[in-house]
Amino acid sequence: MSTTSRLRGIDTAVFWPALLITAAFILWGAAAPDSLASVTNATLAAIINGFGWGFVVSTAMFLVFAGFLAISRFGKIRLGADDEQPEFTTVSWVCMMFSVGMGIGLMFWGVAEPVFHFGAPPHGLAAPQSKEAALIAMEYAYFHWALHPWAIYAIVGLAIAYFTYRKGLPILISSAFTPLLGSAVNGPIGKTIDILALIATLFGTATSLGLGAQQINSGLNFLWGTGEGTGIALAIIAVLSVLFILSAVSGVGKGVQFLSNMNMVVAAALLLFLAVVGPTVFILNTFTEALGEYLTNLVTMSFRTAAFSDGKWLSSWTIFYWAWWVSWAPFVGVFIARISRGRTIREFVIGVLLIPSGVTFLWFTIMGGTALHSELMGVGGLVEAVNTKGAAISLFALLEQYPGTAITSFVAIFLVAIFFISGADAASIVMGMLSSRGTLEPARIVVVLWGVLAGASACVLLVMGGLEGLQTASIIAAAPFLVVMVGLCISLWMALLDDLEGRSEPVSLLPDAQPVAAAAE
C-alpha cells in the first residue's frame, strides 16, 4: 500500500502545518541546539513576565467553573441522550481514569518534589529542612498534583464529551467551539485550534518522555553502574520508542493494555510496601495534617503571583506545572471523554476531580512522607542527593534505605518504562485523531509518525537543556492553548444555557466506539 493511500483520511489543513512546525523544531534543535535554547529561553521569559499571571488566574478559574457546573442545575445534563445510561460501569470508569492519573510524572516527582521543597521552601515560607518546611513541602505537592490539574482535564474532557455525545460532532477540540464560531469552526480558525491542541500534546508528551528517560538512566546507574548522561538518556528514548513503534504496527495493543493494568497493580504494591515497611504512623499523621493545611490555604496558593512572591520559583514550579497540565489536556481530555458517555455532568466532574486527586494524596503522602521522615528522623541524605545528582535519583535513594533495594529499584524502573511505552502509544493515537478529522482509528502510519516525532522532540529538549529544557518547551507550547481553554469554557457555557432553555439542537449521537486507549488494537 502506498504512503499516499495510508495517509488517506488525514486533515491536510491540520496534519501538514503541525508536521512542519514539529520538523522545523527538531531540525533546528539538532543543527543548532544553543541557538534554539537562546530563542526558547527568551520566549519563556517574555511569557512568564507578561503572562505568568494568566496561567495562575485561568487555572484557578477552571477549578471554580468545574465545581460550579457540578453543583448547579447544569449538573443534571447527561453526556448523551437524556435517557442514555453510562457506557461503562462505575468500577471500569474509575479504573480507566485511575490509569490516566498514574504516569511518569508521579514516579519522577513523588519523592523529588517534597524533598526539593523541604530543602528550599516555596517563597521562603519556612526555614529550610525544618518541620515547618516539611509540612509546606507536602502542601505544595498536593497543590501541584491534585484538584487544579484535574480541573484542567475536566474542562477539556467535559467540553469534548458534551459536543461529541450530546451534539454528535467529531471528537475534536474545534468541535467544542461551534456555539462561538458556527460554520467557521470548519475553516482556518477551527483548524488553528486543532493545530494548537496537537502541538501542545506533542510537547507535553515529549516532556514526560524526557523525564522518564532521565529516571530510567538514574535507576540503571544506581543498580548496575551504567553511568549517567544525555547520551545514555537519548539511547533509552530510542529503545523505548522502538518498542512503542513495534506495539503500534504489530497490533499488540492488548498486550500494552495488559502491561498498563499490571503496572497499576505493581505501583500499588510498591506504595503498600513503603507504607508498611516505612514510617506508617508518621505517614498517617502527615496525611491528616498536610491535607488540612492544603485545604485551608488553597485559595491563597491558587492566586499567588510573582508580584509579591518569588517569581523564579513560581515559573520553575507552579507555572511549569499548570503549563504541563494544559499541554496534556487535549490528550487526557479526549481519553476521559471517550470513557464518560452517558454520565451526567455532575457525575463527570465529581468523578474526574475527586478520584484522581484522592490517588494523588495517597501517592505523595506515602512517597513524600516516607522521604521527609528519613530527613527529619532517619538516615537522611535525600536533599543532598537531589541537589548533587538531580531529581531523577530521589526515588532510588529512598528505596536504598529499605530492605530489598535491588528488587524495589528494578520494579521502579519497570514501572517508568511501561508508563513510557503505554503513554506514548495512547498520546500518539490522540494526535493521530486530531490530525485525521477526529476518526477513532487513525491510520497506523500517522500514529507511528507522531510517536516518533514526540520521541525526537524529547531528545532535542534533553540536548537543549535537560530538565530546564523540558520545562521551557511545556510552557511555550501550552501558552496559546491556554487561550483556547478559556474559549472552551465560554462556548460550553453558551451551549449549556441553550440546552436547559430548550434551544439545543436535536441529539445526533455518534456510533459506539472503543475507548481511545484501545483504538490502536
126-173: pLDDT as tens digits: 999 999 999 999 999 999 999 999 999 999 999 999 999 999 999 999
Q: Which residue has the cell 528522623?
A: 377
Band of pLDDT at residue 225, cut at 50, 70 and 90: very high
Radius of gyration for the alpha carbons in the chain, expressed in angstroms and rounded: 22
Residue 245 has pLDDT above 80, yes or no: no
Note the pLDDT tens digit of each residue in 246-304. Answer: 776 654 445 555 666 777 788 889 999 999 999 999 999 999 999 999 999 999 999 99
CA angle 463, 326, 389 (to 5 degrees): 35
Tell me the average pLDDT across 318-346.
89
Alpha-carbon gap, residue 157 to 12, rounded angstroms? 25
Alpha-carbon gap, residue 253 to 333, rounded angstroms? 21
Q: DSSP states of 309-357 as a string?
A: S-HHHHHHTHHHHHHHHHHHHHHHHHHHHHT-TT-BHHHHHHHHHHHHH
Alpha-carbon gap, residue 376 to 370, rounded angstroms? 10
Under DSSP, the state recorded for 165 is I
Band of pLDDT at residue 520, cut at 50, 70 and 90: very low
Check residues 422 and 323 and name the one with the higher pLDDT. Answer: 323
Tell me the average pLDDT across 306-323.
87
pTM of the shown model: 0.91
Note the pLDDT tens digit of each residue in 398-409. Answer: 999 999 999 999
Query: What is the predicted pLDDT for the residue at 404?
Result: 95
Largest Cα span, the chain: 67
What is the average pLDDT value for the chain, to the nearest integer? 88
Check residues 24 and 44 and name the one with the higher pLDDT. Answer: 24
Alpha-carbon gap, residue 8 to 435, rounded angstroms? 11
Query: What is the predicted pLDDT for the residue at 444?
Result: 86
Cβ-contact 411, 270 below 8 angstroms: yes
Q: Which residue has the cell 449549556?
A: 496
Q: Which residues of 353-392 are buried (b: 16+ CB within 10 A; e: fewer)?
A: bebbbebbbebbbbbbbbbbbbbbebeeebbebbeebbbb
Query: What is the predicted pLDDT for the residue at 514?
Result: 41
Note the pLDDT tens digit of each residue in 398-457. Answer: 999 999 999 999 999 998 888 888 777 778 888 999 999 988 788 888 988 998 999 999
Query: What is the predicted pLDDT for the residue at 362?
Result: 95
